[in-house]
């Protein structure tokens, strides 16, 4: 099957970002190879594949986290639409990009601050000082992350007083507070127990039609439950991309079928 046939799907939804021939290098090692795919607006797109296949590396290209280390480089484009802004172009300000593209990591990483100040952190970086504006934004974000009722009476307490699942929802609230154009999630439930995982998945169902989400998950069942679209990667290459239901029930590529059926991975 030709490359064009594997990626012939065109989303009916609006496109929030468009990846065009993206490659990423750690010095001379190419970790992501010539990936092209759309990112539908206000939908959840899941990245699946075996450990070390390039999922997280690909994800982190969107907010230029690789810029933090010397020797890394990009080729191709990631176009934010409809603006047409190339996120990885050298002239694009990486600091500005990170204010508009939120990220939540595998393990909860709250700041050593109060619950309130964790959520307000990005707004303060943007120069927001009005206490009423900050309070309204913090409440809205905590409600969006289904955490408000659990913490509204202790906003001044340390974020470290929360459970692991609550800390991860706090990190999601922190990312949502700046109204991100894209929310990146790198295996956000892999360190959580089943109850906390279910709460995060419920949360993603709630916010998935209000913000564009790109999530890396090692759990294929999770991808099939929460995502609208799925991309399968192997050894840095995009093997197949489609609507989640279609990819899991009628994969076009034998390699995809072998992975989701457990014959390798």
Residue 119's CATH number: 3.40.50.300
Q: What is the pLDDT of residue 264?
A: 65
Dihedral of CA 124/127/132/134: which sign? negative
Sequence-ordered strand ranges (E) for 128-246: 182-186, 212-216, 229-234, 237-243
Average pLDDT over residues 166-180: 95
Q: Is the pLDDT of residue 78 over 60?
A: yes
Interval 64-72 mean pLDDT: 92
- Domain presence at residue 203: yes
* Residue 148 pLDDT greater than 70, yes or no: yes
Q: What pLDDT is stored for residue 62 in this prediction?
A: 97
The pLDDT score that the predictor gives to residue 7 is 54
Helix (H) / strand (E) element for 106: namely: none
239 belongs to a structural domain? yes
pLDDT at 209: 86
Buried b (16+ CB within 10 A) or exposed e, 54-79: bbbbbbbbbbbbbbeeeebebebbbb
What sign has the CA pseudo-torsion 234, 239, 242, 244? negative
Residue 123 forms part of a structural domain = yes
Report how many domains make up the chain.
1
End-to-end CA distance of the chain: 21
Percentage of the chain beyond pLDDT 90 is 84
Q: Please state, in angstroms and rounded to a whole number, the distance separating the CA atoms of residues 249 and 243.
A: 10
User: Is residue 151 domain-resident?
Assistant: yes
Given a cut of 80, whether residue 5 has pLDDT beyond it is no
Largest distance between two CA atoms of the chain: 58
CA 183 centroid distance within chain: 5
Which stretch of 5-9, 36-40, 77-81, 85-89 has the lowest confidence by average pLDDT? 5-9
Q: Is the pLDDT of residue 13 over 90?
A: no
Domain that holds residue 117: 3-260
Is 221 inside any structural domain?
A: yes
pLDDT at 11: 56
Mean pLDDT in residue range 107-120: 96
Kindly write down the DSSP assignment for every residue of 44-105, as one continuous string. Answer: EEEEE-STTSSHHHHHHHTTTGGGGSTTEEEEEEEEETTTTEETT-TTS-HHHHHHHEEEE-
Q: What is the mean pLDDT of residues 17-44?
A: 96
CA–CA distance, 36 with 38 (Å, rounded to integer): 7
Predicted pLDDT at 208: 83
Specify the residue for token string 């509204």. Answer: 152
Give the confidence band of 246 by pLDDT, cuts at 50, 70, 90. very high
Q: Are strands 15-26 and 237-243 parallel, antiparallel or unpaired?
A: unpaired
* The length of the chain, given as a count of residues: 265
Q: Which pLDDT score, from 0 to 100, does residue 110 have?
A: 96
pLDDT at 140: 95
112 lies in a domain?
A: yes
The answer to whether position 265 is within a domain reads no
For the chain, the average pLDDT equals: 92
Question: Looking at residues 99-117, what average pLDDT do you find?
Answer: 94
Q: Does residue 32 form part of some domain? A: yes
């Amino acid at each position: 099957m030709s490359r064009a046939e594997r990626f012939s799907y065109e989303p009916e939804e609006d496109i929030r970002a468009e990846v065009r021939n993206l490659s990423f290098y750690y010095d001379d090692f190419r970790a992501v190879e010539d990936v092209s795919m759309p990112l539908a607006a206000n939908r959840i797109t899941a990245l699946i594949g075996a450990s070390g296949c390039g999922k997280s590396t690909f994800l982190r290209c969107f907010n230029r986290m690789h810029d933090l280390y010397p020797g890394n480089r990009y080729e191709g484009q990631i176009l934010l639409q409809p603006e047409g802004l190339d996120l990885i172009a050298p002239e694009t300000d990486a600091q500005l990009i990170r204010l508009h593209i939120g990220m939540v990591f595998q393990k909860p990483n709250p700041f050593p601050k109060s619950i309130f100040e964790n959520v307000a952190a990005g707004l303060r970086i943007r120069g927001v000082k009005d206490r009423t504006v900050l309070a309204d934004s913090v409440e809205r974000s905590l409600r969006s992350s289904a955490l408000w009722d659990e913490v509204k009476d202790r906003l001044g307490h340390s974020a470290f007083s929360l459970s692991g699942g609550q800390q991860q929802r706090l990190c999601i609230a922190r990312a949502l507070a700046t109204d991100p154009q894209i929310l990146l999630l790198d295996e956000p439930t892999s360190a959580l127990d089943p109850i906390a995982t279910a709460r995060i998945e419920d949360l993603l169902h709630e916010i998935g039609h209000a913000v564009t989400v790109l999530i890396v998950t090692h759990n294929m069942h999770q991808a099939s439950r929460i995502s609208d679209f799925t991309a399968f990667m192997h050894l840095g290459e995009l093997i197949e991309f489609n609507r989640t239901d279609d990819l899991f029930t009628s994969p076009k590529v034998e390699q995809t079928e072998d992975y989701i059926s457990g014959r390798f991975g």
